[in-house]
Structure 1
Amino acid sequence: MADDGSAQTQAIWPLPKFHFQVKWDDTELAFQEVSGLDIETEVLEYRAGNSKVFSKVKMPGMIKSGNITMKKGVFAKDNAIFDWFKEIKMNTIKRKAITISLLDESQTPTMVWKVQNAFPVKITGTDLKAEGNEVAVESIEIAHEGLVIENA
């Protein structure tokens, strides 16, 4: 008898990436795209002078992460990202914790990225075209001091 799929579990299907939410402070903002959720470790190479092996030993060094870029549609009277950017003064900014969650069909977070001590470094407004019919999209680039990944 052919398998109709009724006995399959959700664990065999990868998660779609289009259903997610972004929260900072207690506010949820609707973003169209989030990129830059990466962390890596620097590779340190070392060779002792009395080593019998004529090659370097590689070991993990400091952890580093890139900036996160988020894009969203432009809405009338929605100034949340601009208001946060305006708070920047010489070496002072209100840093925020940002939570980015990949959601399943029941709106439950299945994978969560917790961004620590985030602050904006760049805002890009939309481009304007008299002959275009696309949605106006703005983006914000955020620097941070750490990324914790939790898989629920």
Structure 2
Amino acid sequence: MVRADPYRQFRFRVEIDGITQAGFSECTFGDTTTDVAEYREGDEPPRFRKLSGLTKYGNITLKWGITDSLDLYSWRQQVIDTGAESARRNMSIVLIDEAGADKARWNIERAWPSKYDPVDFNAKGNEVAIETLEIVHEGFKRAS
């Protein structure tokens, strides 16, 4: 019998249409929830039916050590300059196993950056300079 251990969370890749960016240190993936609407016909007993309402998707947060690449910053600037509609992109988050093989993939639809947090500077520190991008989207599906 082969033992199936869970995959570790520290090996992942983020793919964004048209953007090549390496070295993400963190990817926080928001959850998905569906609102519950309570409903009752006028002639039914005093109990409610639970109907599904609007489905919502949490934001994705990416953190990376600053480099010479301006691709992610430029994507955010595009939203500021022309609005989100022309800046929407599909993206994927891919979990990688110890051998480097892709093991799980989530495909994200119509994403765009809603918030950019530039690096904080501290002359007393020696940490890597980290930038943060918050991304909104219209849904995701696990493909594998």
RMSD of the alignment, in Å? 1.7
Does the aligned pair in 2 maintain the 1:21–1:103 contact within 8 Å? yes
Cα distance, 1:91 vs structure 2: 5.3
For each residue in 1:9-29, what CA deviation from the matched residue of structure 2 results, as whole angstroms up to 9, or x when unmatched? 2x2x11110000001125353
- Tell me the distance in 2 between the aligned counterparts of 1:16 and 1:73: 21
Shift of 1:119: 0.7
Q: In structure 2, how many angstroms separate the alpha carbons of the residues matched to 1:146 and 1:140? A: 18
CA contact (8 A) 2:93 2:105 kept: yes
CA separation of 1:46 and 1:87: change in aligned 2, threshold 3 A: same
Cα distance 1:110–1:18, how it changes in 2: closer, same or farther (>3 A)?
A: same
Partner of 2:113: 120
Amino acid in the other structure paired with 2:130: V
Q: Is the CA contact (8 Å cut-off) linking 2:84 and 2:112 kept in structure 1?
A: no
SS at match of 1:72: strand
In the alignment, does 2:81 pair up with 1:87? no
Runs of 4+ in structure 1 off by over 6 angstroms are none
Secondary structure of 2:74's aligned partner: helix
What does 1:134-149 align with in structure 2 at a 5 Å threshold? Answer: 134-149=127-142
In the alignment, structure 2 segments of 5+ residues that lack a partner are none
1:36 Cα offset (Å): 2.9
User: Does structure 1 residue 99 correspond to structure 2 residue 82?
Assistant: no
2:56 is aligned to: 64
Question: Aligned match of 2:16 in 20, 24, 29?
Answer: 24
Q: Secondary structure, in 3 states, of the residue corresponding to 1:32?
A: strand
**Which of 123, 133, 141 is matched with 1:130 structurally?**
123
Matches of 1:138 and 1:90, distance apart in 2:
22
> Which TM-score applies when normalising by structure 1?
0.84
SS at the partner of 2:111? strand
Structure 1 unaligned residues grouped into runs of 5+: 1-6
| CA distance, structure 2, for counterparts of residue 22 and residue 134 of structure 1 | 23
Percent of residue pairs bearing the same amino acid type: 34
Matched, 1:55 2:47: yes
Q: Deviations over 1:73-126 (max 9, x none)?
A: 111x11111111122214543211111001112322211111111111110011
- The answer on whether the counterparts of 2:21 and 2:71 sit within 8 Å (CA) in structure 1 is no
**Alignment CA distance shift 1:72-1:91 (3 Å):** closer
TM-score under structure 2 length normalisation: 0.89
- How many matched pairs? 141
Are residues 1:33 and 2:26 paired? yes
Q: Following the alignment from structure 1 to structure 2, what is the Cα–Cα distance between the partners of residues 91 and 126?
A: 23
